[in-house]
Amino acid sequence: MTKHIFVTGGVVSSLGKGLTSASIGMLLERRGLRVKLQKLDPYINVDPGTMSPYQHGEVYVLDDGSETDLDLGHYERFTHSPLSRHSNYTTGQIYLSVIEKERRGEFLGKTVQVIPHITNEIKGVISKLADQETDVVITEIGGTVGDIESQPFLEAIRQFALDVGKENCLYIHLTLVPYLKAAGELKTKPTQHSVGQLREIGIQPDILICRTERSISHEDRQKIGLFCNIPIEAVIEEKDKEFSIYEVPLSLVDNGLDALIIKRLGLNSDLLELDDWRNLLHCLRNPKHEISIAVVGKYAEHKDAYKSIYEALDHAGIHHNAQVRIGRIQSESIEREGPERLLSGYDGILVPGGFGERGIEGKIEAIRYARERRIPFFGICLGMQCAVIEFARHVIGLEGAHSTEFNKDTLRPVICLLDEQKNITDKGGTMRLGAQTAHLAPDGVARECYQKPIIEERHRHRYEFNNVYRQQFAAHNMVVTGTSPDGSLAEIIELPDHPWFLAVQYHPEFKSKPTAAHPLFSGLIQAAIERRSFRSERNSEVSAS
Ligand code: GLN
């Protein structure tokens, strides 16, 4: 019988439910259990694919092409849980499915209502993950208890315990215990209210995880337990981590969470295995090198817009024992202030993916700067397209070269719409999405990094390198070193005359893990370390002479 853990959040949003759920998944997995993770989001968009990064942060793409919430990135980085389109549902998807059933006449003349039809649909998507190969399903409910939109999801998880038995379900509630400076103490009232709201719905949480900036005293835990009807051993402190998010699972272990879950669900488990994780934290704490990478994007000021890219840079840093200082640079500010002022001093430059024209010229200037100053450069998706435009304009001399995404009438459309995209009008879920195979050329940085001839990476784009120009680019030494299996789509470009200049049409950041850095990010960091040591040697020679 598969066991179910439901993770809800209270008091405020952004408490890190995703990270906590991922950490729980990781700890159970490392006790030998087979875990699946799932996020239910109460908003009405069918998926986050159509939302601006300002609203939602990054859109995380899975192998099967689903565009999902960025918390699924945490799930993949922390666990081996297989993720698919069943791992993320929204209110929009739930309603869409119920309304389609109604149109097909599947409700036999009944009035279709939130209870039971919407709640049944929600319970259905939770049950879908429970099978013989799964010991525990962890379902995270997006939003905060008390939100109007969350109600049907909370009602569904309440009913779920009736269906499968209370002994097979565990409710974990994540709350905030704020420190009030004026009073000089931690306040437990918001947590009491939040649990009160859950209990009104009929859910008595089994475990409380309390986010806090200061340690919670035994007396405060006792008080929380008393008011929330929870034994003190199940009031778990989760103190803010200033150093790294990868500390979260270890602190949960220190506070006894994994052992408690095992006990409460009556699971048989192995001993917890965390050596490699402790090792990666050791590497993070004791770096041998320090380098800096500029990430030049349209949403640089938003901390979650390029989440997986920032994480992947950290992973590559761990791999090379290097502390990676990331500079988030707004591409529009390069247009105003020029690249020298904003980019000099960095050991590498990365231009991430994106949509829309704002900031494009700043990205192109940043790439020109990296190319001419021989700074390691990594372009991702739109970053690759910008590298192609920059090369066309400034090396080949194709004045006005552009992508038809930004200038439909350009005379030099070096980036153009994929054939399969030409007749598509709907925006949601219609790009070239998900895992695609690419073949690598025998020579080149890509092949050297991957150490294999065939790769599989995740995509999310509508535009591509225009093959009409391939010869011309090759003649000027920008080469295609990775293509779709039939050779028709350029997936990777490189400049063999540059120390490290590589750009890809796909999103490698989605496949990087803290314990297994992505080979291309690792290559970039290696090149940045080499550049840094070369420059410091040169500087010391200059100062000695
Ligand atoms: N806007 C570009 C395209 O659709 C790039 C997309 C991306 O960077 N993910 O092709």
Give pLDDT tens digits for 218-277. Answer: 999 999 999 999 999 999 999 988 788 999 999 999 999 999 999 999 999 888 889 999
Kindly state the tokens that stand for 308.
Answer: 């997986």
* HSE (side-chain half, CA atoms, 13 Å) at 106: 10
Query: Atom of ligand 1 at shortest distance to CA of 415?
Result: 10
Which of 473, 383, 487, 380 is closest to 438 using CA atoms?
Answer: 487
In the sheet that 463-465 helps form, which strands lie side by side, from edge to edge? 402-403, 413-417, 463-465
Task: Report how far residue 330's alpha carbon sits from residue 217's, in angstroms, rounded to the nearest whole number.
Answer: 43
CB distance 209 to 234 below 8 Å: no
Choosing from 388, 463, 464 the residue with most ligand 1 atoms within 8 A of its CB, the one to mutate for a pocket test is 463
Which of 339, 317, 320 is closest to 329 using CA atoms?
Answer: 339
For tokens 């405060």, name the residue: 220
Q: Is the dihedral of CA 524, 526, 532, 535 positive or negative?
A: negative
User: pLDDT value at position 85?
Assistant: 96
Between the two ends of the chain, the Cα-to-Cα distance in Å is 74
Residue 95: phi and psi, rounded to 5, are: -65, -40
User: pLDDT value at position 545?
Assistant: 66
Which of 307, 317, 297 is closest to 528 using CA atoms?
Answer: 317
Instruction: Please tell me the distance between residue 459's alpha carbon and the centre of ligand 1 in angstroms.
Output: 9
Q: Which residues have CB under 6 Å of ligand 1?
A: 353-355, 381-382, 405, 460-463
Choosing from 58, 67, 308, 382 the residue with most ligand 1 atoms within 8 A of its CB, the one to mutate for a pocket test is 382
Task: Report how far residue 494's alpha carbon sits from residue 490's, in angstroms, rounded to the nearest whole number.
Answer: 11
Task: Report how far residue 95's alpha carbon sits from residue 118's, in angstroms, rounded to the nearest whole number.
Answer: 7
DSSP assigned state of 482:
E
For residue 13, with 0-12 CB atoms within 10 Å meaning exposed, 13-18 middle and 19 or more buried, which class applies? exposed
Instruction: Please tell me the distance between residue 379's alpha carbon and the centre of ligand 1 in angstroms.
Output: 12
Q: Is the dihedral of CA 145, 149, 155, 161 positive or negative?
A: negative
Residue 171: phi and psi, rounded to 5, are: -105, 120
Query: Atom of ligand 1 at shortest distance to CA of 464?
Result: 10
Inter-axis angle of helices 307-319 and 275-285, to 10 degrees?
A: 90
- How far apart, in Å, are the Cα atoms of 513 and each of 26, 89, 269, 298, 469? 13, 24, 25, 25, 36
Choosing from 404, 406, 416, 460 the residue with most ligand 1 atoms within 8 A of its CB, the one to mutate for a pocket test is 460
Instruction: Please tell me the distance between residue 191's alpha carbon and the centre of ligand 1 in angstroms.
Output: 42
The per-residue DSSP string of 319-358 comes to HTTEEEEEEEEEHHHHHHH-HHHHHTT-SEEEE----SST
pTM comes to: 0.94
Instruction: Please tell me the distance between residue 71's alpha carbon and the centre of ligand 1 in angstroms.
Output: 21
User: pLDDT value at position 474?
Assistant: 96
Strands 490-494 and 479-483: antiparallel
Query: Atom of ligand 1 at shortest distance to CA of 354?
Result: 8
The protein residue with its alpha carbon nearest to ligand 1, atom 1, reads 355
Instruction: Please tell me the distance between residue 462's alpha carbon and the centre of ligand 1 in angstroms.
Output: 6
User: pLDDT value at position 196?
Assistant: 95
Query: Atom of ligand 1 at shortest distance to CA of 383?
Result: 8
Query: Atom of ligand 1 at shortest distance to CA of 418?
Result: 10
Task: Report how far residue 524's alpha carbon sits from residue 377's, in angstroms, rounded to the nearest whole number.
Answer: 7
**Local confidence pLDDT in tens for the 545 residues of the chain:** 999 999 999 988 888 999 999 999 999 999 999 999 999 999 999 988 888 888 888 999 999 999 999 999 999 999 999 999 999 999 999 999 999 999 999 998 899 999 999 999 999 999 999 999 999 999 999 999 999 999 999 999 999 999 999 999 999 999 999 999 988 889 999 999 999 999 999 999 999 999 999 999 999 999 999 999 999 999 999 998 878 899 999 999 999 999 999 999 999 988 888 999 999 999 999 999 999 999 999 998 888 899 999 999 999 999 999 999 999 999 999 999 999 999 999 999 999 999 999 999 999 999 999 999 999 999 999 999 999 999 999 999 999 999 999 999 999 999 999 878 788 888 888 889 999 999 999 999 999 999 999 999 999 999 999 999 999 999 999 999 999 999 999 999 999 999 999 999 999 999 999 999 999 999 999 999 999 988 878 777 777 76
Query: Atom of ligand 1 at shortest distance to CA of 356?
Result: 1
Omega into 508 within 30° of 0, i.e. cis? Answer: no
CB distance 170 to 139 below 8 Å: no
Could you tell me which residues are beta bridge partners of residue 289?
322
The protein residue with its alpha carbon nearest to ligand 1, atom 6, reads 461
The protein residue with its alpha carbon nearest to ligand 1, atom 5, reads 382
Instruction: Please tell me the distance between residue 461's alpha carbon and the centre of ligand 1 in angstroms.
Output: 4
- Nearby residues of 406 by Cβ (< 8 Å), 6 or more positions away: 357, 360
Task: Report how far residue 310's alpha carbon sits from residue 502's, in angstroms, rounded to the nearest whole number.
Answer: 18
- Nearby residues of 26 by Cβ (< 8 Å), 6 or more positions away: 78, 79, 249, 277
Active site residues: 381, 507, 509
Query: Atom of ligand 1 at shortest distance to CA of 355?
Result: 1
Q: Is the dihedral of CA 15, 21, 22, 24 positive or negative?
A: positive
The protein residue with its alpha carbon nearest to ligand 1, atom 3, reads 461
Task: Report how far residue 329's alpha carbon sits from residue 295's, in angstroms, rounded to the nearest whole number.
Answer: 6
Kindly state the tokens that stand for 407.
Answer: 């200038």
For tokens 């999103």, name the residue: 507
* HSE (side-chain half, CA atoms, 13 Å) at 155: 15
Instruction: Please tell me the distance between residue 473's alpha carbon and the centre of ligand 1 in angstroms.
Output: 21
CB distance 295 to 532 below 8 Å: no
Q: Which amino acid is at 277?
A: W
Q: Is the dihedral of CA 465, 471, 476, 479 positive or negative?
A: positive
Choosing from 381, 419, 510 the residue with most ligand 1 atoms within 8 A of its CB, the one to mutate for a pocket test is 381
Q: Which amino acid is at 411?
A: L
- Nearby residues of 156 by Cβ (< 8 Å), 6 or more positions away: 118, 119, 120, 122, 123, 126
- Nearby residues of 361 by Cβ (< 8 Å), 6 or more positions away: 335
Instruction: Please tell me the distance between residue 421's alpha carbon and the centre of ligand 1 in angstroms.
Output: 12
In three-state secondary structure terms, 495 is coil
Instruction: Please tell me the distance between residue 384's alpha carbon and the centre of ligand 1 in angstroms.
Output: 9
User: pLDDT value at position 29?
Assistant: 96
